[in-house]
Amino acid sequence: MPQQKALVWFRRDLRDHDHAALSAALASGNAVYCCFVFDTRILDALPTKHDRRVHFIHGSLLELDAALRRSGGGLIVRHGQASEEIPRLASELGVSAVFANRDYEPAAKERDGEVAAKLAAQGIAFHDFKDQAIFDGNEILTQATRPFSVFTPYKNAWKKRLTATAWAAHPCNGRLAGNELAGVPELGAIGFAATDLTELGIVAGMSGARGLWDDFRAKRINRYGALRDFPAIKGVSYLSVHLRFGTISIRELIRAAVADEADAWLGELIWRDFYFMILDHYPHVASRAFKPEYDAIAWDHWPEGFAAWCAGRTGYPLVDAAMRQLMHSGWMHNRLRMVTASFLTKDLGIDWRLGERHFADQLNDFDLSANNGGWQWAASSGCDAQPYFRIFNPVTQSEKFDREGRFIRRYVPELAKLPDKYIHAPWRMSQAEQEALGVVIGRDYPLPVIDHARAREKTLARYAVVRRPAFP
């Protein structure tokens, strides 16, 4: 009797080790093939053909294909709608089952449902596995057996459930089935072009992840809590894009965080699971407020203000530096994601969904669950969100987290000559001082697009429609 065949469908898990679906397929005794689909449903919606994420994925696929070939196989890459390409490839290969790791985004769940139905019609099984999260589904629930909506009790329950079994690696030993279909097409063949990843120092694939992880663990993991809020300091891991595309395993990071007693770092990884859980259980957050009453907020229609924010021309140096960092690199420091989101929603009074969409277009590490969670946190519309009356002051945030203006000077070079006392609010300089420094506000750098104090009062009034008393 001929050996049965299986197909492993790689998505946001671009590695050949500690991979739940690959491990299960290899353990099944089937001849195992591997594939990836450049899904046109996703690619066709991208705003540019010079997308760093597509370039990153492509580089990661080249490395993955090479690794799979060392195990006797290779990566079959298709370009089209995954809901059509996977059933077609499964039929061509004559497999009895398709193995994939779960995705929690609404569109991905719908896609997987379509694929599973088409495969079933062909007599082919579809198996999905938990891989990008430590806990998912109903594994972490309240005592009332409901999903959590507040982070701290979720974190406590998550930690209580955590055992070595949860972070154990999935072995991926065994030989893969070779075939002539394997190979990664050139970027141009799918309609995209190379970007500036190399110039930015971004290394795709498992090797890129390994280099960043080894550096972070050796030098900063135990100082993460003290360093993470200062954008001019190398304090974070820079692993977000690798976690997003699965070139490193979350289980390896959790094991290390526990072993190193790196509680602050562990907490950030738990936030990741928390936002996966929220999106999985409450898919309405993808387009509406987690708290329905916040959909009643009347946002301002201010295209000019939004354009100034996007371009880093608001007149608030820390906000502008952060937005220019995003444009330059496709990445933004987490403290600054909070500052810029607060500024858009609570200073400019602009709908959080516009900011969320801009970040989705720009961020190399864009992940719907975390991006949506962060924006709804800033807008006070999400689960366990920043209270509506807590409004970041962009000047005091700048003074606290970029005291010497090192980050500002890097990304807003027109302000480089300013002394520290003016770098955070340059409009406070006298006209004579501006002339002497060669930085005239309103000519060389914008005047503030809005007065923060007045904006704060307007925001408090705006949120009055959903205001709740602080105490019962």
Active site residues: 268, 271, 299, 334, 352, 375
Tokens of 396: 């005091």
Can you tell me the distance from the alpha carbon of 350 to that of 145, in angstroms, rounded to the nearest whole number?
Answer: 37
Buried b (16+ CB within 10 A) or exposed e, 56-85: bbbbbbebbbebbeebebbbbbbebbbbbb
Angle at 209 between CA 43 and CA 218, to 5 degrees: 155
How are the residues of the chain apportioned to helix, strand and coil, as percentages rounded to the nearest 5? Answer: 55, 5, 40
Half-sphere exposure of 139 (CA within 13 A, CB side): 18
Instruction: List, edge to edge, every strand of the sheet that includes 31-39.
Output: 75-80, 31-39, 5-10, 97-101, 125-129
Can you tell me the distance from the alpha carbon of 331 to that of 97, in angstroms, rounded to the nearest whole number?
Answer: 38
Residue 46, Ramachandran bin (φ over 0: left; ψ between -120 and 50: alpha; else beta): beta
Tokens of 308: 């100034």
Answer for the pair 136, 158: CB distance below 8 angstroms, yes or no.
Answer: no
Answer for the pair 37, 82: CB distance below 8 angstroms, yes or no.
Answer: yes
Can you tell me the distance from the alpha carbon of 250 to that of 165, in angstroms, rounded to the nearest whole number?
Answer: 13
Cross-strand partners of 31:
5
Answer for the pair 272, 244: CB distance below 8 angstroms, yes or no.
Answer: no
Can you tell me the distance from the alpha carbon of 141 to that of 372, in angstroms, rounded to the nearest whole number?
Answer: 21
How many Cβ atoms sit within 10 Å of the Cβ of residue 169? 14
The tokens 């409004």 sit on which residue? 391
Q: Is 248 exposed, middle or buried (0-12, 13-18, 19+ CB in 10 A)?
A: buried
